[in-house]
Amino acid sequence: MNFVAIDFETACYKQESACSVGLVKFQNKTETGFFYSLIRPPRLYIRPDFTRIHGLTVKDVKDAPSFAEIWDSIKAFIGDLPLAAHNALFDMAVLRAALNYYALPVPPIRYFCTLALSRRVWPELGSHALTALAKNFRITYKAHDALDDARTCGKLIHLAAEQSGSGSLEKLPGVNMNSLSALK
């Protein structure tokens, strides 16, 4: 199973306000690389309640590159692999909004959601939030750190594959491949 797990943190409720991104590449059940960057959002402002969640401040991102400046590196890191995200509709909406904001072409990246996957594989769990799943499976990580969230997402995919006996992404319960270019 080869994929890239992705997570964004945002500065406010505007979808194009990404202030950090983490990507972790998994190939044949092994983490083979990662990409992390702070991002200067289009408006240099981070809501205080968002800072309380992810810990990032304007001071952290004021000298960071814009999304447009790191997009080529992100795109190259992803390559032809599908993306995985926990609550993928959020992360794919952020990605698509950032691309649109900077008038960058939207590539036909395939993606799937580990929230949907976890609900199908572990229906008995009371919560399928990433923090709850990590606690349940004793995965230690820093919640709302884009890189740690992405890495944890990838680990959950492998746990779900083991539990379900699936050797491919397409056969994992609850995995429906979607295309970023089809997202509105």
CATH code where residue 89 lies: 3.30.420.10
Please report how the helices 114-121 and 88-101 are oriented relative to each other, as an axis angle in degrees rounded to 10: 170
Stretch 105-133: mean pLDDT: 96
pLDDT reported for residue 125: 96
Q: Residue 158 above 80 pLDDT?
A: yes
pLDDT reported for residue 184: 64
Q: Residue 170 above 90 pLDDT?
A: no
Residue 133's domain comprises 3-182
pLDDT reported for residue 4: 98
User: How many domains would you assign to the chain?
Assistant: 1
Return the minimum-mean-pLDDT range out of 2-6, 65-69, 112-116, 178-182: 178-182
Tokens of 63: 């000298």
| 93 — pLDDT class (breaks 50, 70, 90) | very high
Beta strands 83-85 and 18-27 are unpaired
- Over the stretch 9-55, which tens digit does the pLDDT of each residue have? 999 999 999 999 999 999 998 999 999 999 999 999 999 999 999 99
